[in-house]
Structure formats: C-alpha cells, structure tokens
Homo-oligomer: A and B are copies of this chain.
Amino acid sequence: MLGPGDDAAIIGAPDGRVVVSTDLLLEGRHFRRDWSTGYDVGRKAAAQNLADVAAMGATPTSLVVGLGLPADLPLSWLDALTDGLADECATIGASVAGGDVTRCDLVVIGVTALGDLGGRAPVLRSGARPGHVVAVAGRLGYAAAGWALLEAGVPADSGALREAVAGHRAPCPPYAMGPVAAGLGASAMLDVSDGLLQDLGHVAEASGVRVELDPGAFPVGDPVAAAAKELGADPLEWVLSGGEDHALAAMFPPDVRLPAEWHVVGRVVEGEGVVVYGREIGRRGWDHFG
C-alpha cells in the first residue's frame, strides 16, 4: 500500500491479523559469494521467510529487508540480490515493501516476511493427533544433493545434476500449498528448513506424539537420484535429513482427500520422537530421532 521512501511501509492485512517471520542471513555462514550469485542469495533469503509464513497457512504478502553491505561490494551484486528478492516474491504475488541499508564488513541480509491468513486459523506445530497422516509437498533432498556436488567439485554436466545444484543455490518452496493445507484442515504444519527428521521432531515434541515414516513412500526426484549415483551416496538420506529445500510437511485427519501435490509419507501415533521403518537407526543425522 506504501512502499520504500517514508519512515515505514504500510501493508494490507485484510484478515485483521498478520503473520510475521524474520531471519538473518550472513555471508560465510548462510551463503558464499563464490558459490551463489547475488540473484540466488536474494531468492533464497526471500524463500526461507516466505516459506515460514506459508507454513502457518497464510498467503505471503510482503517482505521488508535490512541490508548490511561492504563498501567494495559490486553494485551489480546488489542489483542481482534485489532482483532475486523481488522475483521470489513475485512467484506468490508478494512484493518487497521497504528496507534499510547500512555499511558492514560482510553482507548481512535481514528479511522479514508478512502474510495474511484469509480468515483461516493458523496451523501450528502442536496440533498433530494420533491417527492423522503425515504428508509432504515440494522438493526434498535437492539442496543437500546440490551442496554435496559442489563440495565434491563434481561438474554438473547433465540437466539433472544442474537442477540439484540450482536447488542448493535457491529453493523452490510450494508456497500455495500452505493455505491449501490450512483450508483442508491440516492439524500441524512446518516448512522443512533443517531436514525432515529433525523438523518433524519439533512437531512430535510440540504435539506430544510419535511420527512414523515409511521410507518407501517418499518421492525421490531425478536430480537427487542422479547426484546420489554420481557420488555413491544414499539419496534417501538427503531426502530425510537434508535441509534448506523448504518443502512443507503437514499432518491431516485421516479422511482428508489430498491434492496431487501432497504425498502421504507416514502417520501419527501415540508416543514420542520420529522413526523411519525398515532403516537402521544411528546413521548420521538420524540418531536423535529413533
């Protein structure tokens, strides 16, 4: 409603409530300028906050951004960053509403995303109940596979490998599935930022339930499978433990009919923790959830 240039931005909040998520992204810790372009960093910075908003069941509406920039940063990098922020917002009809710039020795990006619930109740982490199904929408394992390819220095010389590397550089969250899940009565939801097993552990704890996953039910994308073959790795480990794809994971009552974007991968039972059937417990990244 009012963008950059005044003391503050004004953003529509027709629901009468506003959903807000904020994150800091730091050069060296969350991105490397030699691995990712400014454009990719902008898309990633926007995506991780827009996905948090979607995971509440809200439609993202706006971003405000605080930037710390080194004096010797090429202007072209900043232009690409702001393009990336704007383009990622545009994928869900949101926009960059304002911001602040200051000098800093490293690139610091503070992103705050806002969204509107459209009259729906927010979907928290605490609502999962025994008998509910566990479903995922969006990519899993892409960012981890792409990171492994970059770290190993393997050239991305096929379409599938390039897609995995692109998935590391910028995620592709299924934003629209957040409000859809809320409308279908999802009982709990979050976006997968640290890895599915770890993140579902938060749901299990907040809801006081146990989450059981069927490893055979997960869709494994071609880029993940291709990268695993290239590196002799287990693709399911990336799918279950890889972070930064910002897929959505939601629990639904068992009688809900889910659209094709959602894949049922497990169920909620009484108990605690997260288990994966038919897989040995104790592998890297799985230990805490057996």
Complex Cα distance, B68 from A23, in Å, reads 10
Complex Cα distance, B251 from A192, in Å, reads 49
Task: Please provide the 9 A-B residue pairs with the shortest distance between their CB atoms, ordered closest to farther.
Answer: A110-B110, A13-B13, A8-B21, A24-B66, A112-B112, A7-B55, A7-B52, A22-B64, A13-B18
Contact of A9 among B21, B29, B64, B206 (CB under 8 A): B21
Q: Interface size for chain A: under 10, 10 to 19, 20 to 34, or 35 or more residues?
A: 35 or more
Stretch at the interface among A97-105, A129-137, A140-148, A260-268: A97-105
- Copies of this chain, count: 2
Nearest residue (CB) in B for A68 is B24
List of B residues within 8 angstroms of A16 by Cβ: 12-14, 16
Complex Cα distance, B204 from A230, in Å, reads 63
List of B residues within 8 angstroms of A154 by Cβ: none
List of B residues within 8 angstroms of A58 by Cβ: 8
Nearest residue (CB) in B for A117 is B10
Contact of A22 among B26, B99, B115, B122 (CB under 8 A): B99
List of B residues within 8 angstroms of A53 by Cβ: 7-8
**A124 on interface, CB distance cutoff 8 Å:** yes
> CB-CB contacts of A16-55 with B at 8 A, as 1s and 0s?
1111111110100110000000000000000000001101
Complex Cα distance, B65 from A58, in Å, reads 20
List of B residues within 8 angstroms of A124 by Cβ: 2, 6
Complex Cα distance, B7 from A52, in Å, reads 5
Nearest residue (CB) in B for A13 is B13
B22 touches A100 (CB 8 A): yes
**A244 on interface, CB distance cutoff 8 Å:** no
Complex Cα distance, B66 from A206, in Å, reads 23
A98 touches B7 (CB 8 A): no
**A191 on interface, CB distance cutoff 8 Å:** yes
List of B residues within 8 angstroms of A22 by Cβ: 64-66, 98-100, 110, 112
CB contact under 8 A between A20 and B52, given known A7-B191, A122-B2, A122-B10: no
**A247 on interface, CB distance cutoff 8 Å:** no
Complex Cα distance, B14 from A17, in Å, reads 7
**A210 on interface, CB distance cutoff 8 Å:** no
Q: Chain B's nearest CB lies how many Å from the CB of A112? A: 4
**A114 on interface, CB distance cutoff 8 Å:** yes
A114 touches B23 (CB 8 A): no
Nearest residue (CB) in B for A106 is B105
List of B residues within 8 angstroms of A114 by Cβ: 18, 20
Complex Cα distance, B9 from A105, in Å, reads 30
A26 touches B104 (CB 8 A): yes
Nearest residue (CB) in B for A60 is B8
